[in-house]
Amino acid sequence: MDQGEGEAAVAEVAVRVGTELAPLEIPVTRTLIVAGAIASRDYQDVHHDAELAKEKGSPDIFMNILTTNGLVGRYVTDHFGPAAVLRKVAIRLGAPNYPGDIMVLTGTVAEVQEGDAGGSGHGSEPGGGATAVVRIVGANGLGKHVTGTVTVALPNPPSPTSTPSRPSVSGRPA
C-alpha cells in the first residue's frame, strides 16, 4: 500500500503550479527536418532542398512549424503519461532550427484546474481529471526556437508515469 501512496504523491507533484518538466534535448538533423516536413505534407523546398533554401536567403533547410508542434506535444505527453490528452497547443516560432543544432525543450506548469465529478466540459474528462497549462520554451544555439503553452487533460487520478529525467533522443522523428 505504501507503493500506491508513493505513486499518488509523485502524480500530485507532477501537476503542481511551478513544477518544472525535465529538459529534453533534440538533435536537429537533416533527417528529422525532412521527415517531419514529409510526414506533415509540407513540401516547401526550404524544408528539404538546401540549395533552394539558400537561394531564398536561408543558410540551410529549416524545421517546419508542424514538426515543432509535434515535438512540443510529445514532450508534454512524455512527462504526464500516455493517458494525458492534449487539449490546446499554442506556439510561436522564433529562431529557426537548422541541421546540426540541438533544441532543448523545457516546461513549467503554469496553471492547474481540478476537474469535477461530472466533467465540466472545460477540458476536464468526465470523472474529474485535472487540466494543466504548461509554458514551453524550445531553445537552440540561435535563441528561442519556440515558445508557447500547452493545455493538457490529465487522467483521474493523474498517471504516475511522468519521467523526472530522460536521456537525449536520437535524431529520429517523434
pLDDT tens track for 122-157: 444 444 589 999 999 999 999 999 999 999 999 876
Helices 65-80 and 30-39, interaxial angle, to 10°?
Answer: 100
Task: Determine the average pLDDT of the residues in 32-47.
Answer: 95
Per-residue pLDDT at 93 = 98
pLDDT of residue 14: 53
Query: Averaged over 10-15, what is the pLDDT?
Result: 50
Range with the poorest average pLDDT among 5-9, 111-115, 157-161 = 5-9
pLDDT of residue 169: 52
Q: Which three cell numbers stand for residue 38?
A: 514529409
pLDDT band at 117 (very low <50, low <70, confident <90, very high): very low
pLDDT for 34 beyond 90: yes
More confident residue, 164 or 148: 148
Q: What is the mean pLDDT of the chain?
A: 83
Give residue 157's pLDDT.
61
Look at residue 68 and tell me whether its pLDDT is greater than 90: yes
